[in-house]
Chain A
Amino acid sequence: MCATCGCGPASHDHEHGHDHTHQQSKGKKVIDVEQDILQENNLLAQRNRGFFEGRNILAINLVSSPGSGKTSLLERTLTDLKGELEFAVIEGDQQTANDADRIHATGTKVTQINTGKGCHLDAHMVLHAVQGMKLKPDSVLFIENVGNLVCPAMFDLGESERAVVISVTEGEDKPLKYPDMFHSSTLCIINKTDLLPYVKFDVEKAKEYARKVNPSLEIIELSCTSGEGMDLWYDWLKSKVLTPA
């Protein structure tokens, strides 16, 4: 089950014992299970969330398709805001520690999770990653999910915010094609705006589509290459960090 500690489903058993049996004819019995299939993940996610809230850690789950610039956005953010905010990063990829190396080069604490064949992070993986990180109170934890606009949508990691990144080199109809991700996100970052003169990407259409799926989605346009719009992202980030009382 778990590649990190070898714990199996039995060690994460959160039964509530609500099942009821009915006798059926011809020696069969029906058991009313009524259990959410994602229950185990959701319970672990709530456990992570409680841990983050107790330490006033802002956990942000960064999701996108591969190549939209999640790691570049992090590199620039970690460098620009160094000294202003305390950061830590969890990197999720199927293979390699390349992204963790890039984050490490900025001087930020980072842990790499390799999912192997897995197409998404789950709350259990994050739980174990966090156990080894000694996260500081009042800090920001970025969780960079596996580049995939489908599967990570279903798995709550215990994050406070979910930020979906799309870039202008993709189609503006991404929100309609992958609605689950946009529906479950709180922030949408439209990245690589410095390339707008060279590509056929309609920013207004992309925003309209994203808001069709999720009317309360906040949207920030930026380029982590030119730096345009980064101040909006930093303002958003700082507005979400609760200053300690």
Chain B
Amino acid sequence: MHELSIAMGIVDLAAAQAAKHDALVIEEIELDIGCLSGIEMESFDFAWKQAIKRTILETATRKVNRIEGKAHCLECGCYFDMQHLYDSCPDCNSHFSEILSGKELKVRSLVLPD
């Protein structure tokens, strides 16, 4: 259940940002969570509800951008979609690949009242 640590990390990060802008409430938070980041969305949703209780994010709308996994084959050079870390290159079947996207785990933006 590392999703709870992640959700609590988001709360800390958002609270620090809001304090910097003298905001008492956050209206919206936008997150990038890659499909290969190791986050189980069902667990994350469950953890999120607990983590935001009585925090500055309690009433915020949460927007999540799921970033698709993309990889570059180091053997034949082709680019392909990666659903799982164990997916091989569809062209040459090699497992030697470089992940280009899908590992994202970040707070993209906040919307604060003016």
Contact = CB atoms under 8 A, between A and B. Distances in A.
Interface of A: 9-10, 13, 15, 19, 21, 23-24, 27-41, 118-120, 122, 150-151, 153-155, 175-176, 179-180, 182-183, 209, 211-216
Interface of B: 1-2, 5-6, 9-10, 12-17, 20-21, 27, 31, 38, 84-86, 88, 94-96, 105-114
B20 to A, nearest CB: 7
A30 B111 contact: yes
11 contacts: A33-B108, A33-B110, A37-B9, A37-B31, A39-B13, A40-B13, A155-B5, A175-B86, A180-B38, A182-B85, A213-B95
A122 B88 CA distance: 31
Contact of A33 (B17, B85, B96, B113): B17
B113 A28 contact: yes
Contact of A183 (B9, B13, B85, B105): B85
B9 A213 contact: no
Contact of A29 (B6, B86, B111): B111
Q: Which 6 A-B pairs have the closest CB atoms?
A: A151-B2, A179-B85, A27-B114, A9-B12, A212-B86, A180-B38
Given A9-B16, A15-B16, A179 B108 contact: no
A25 B32 CA distance: 24
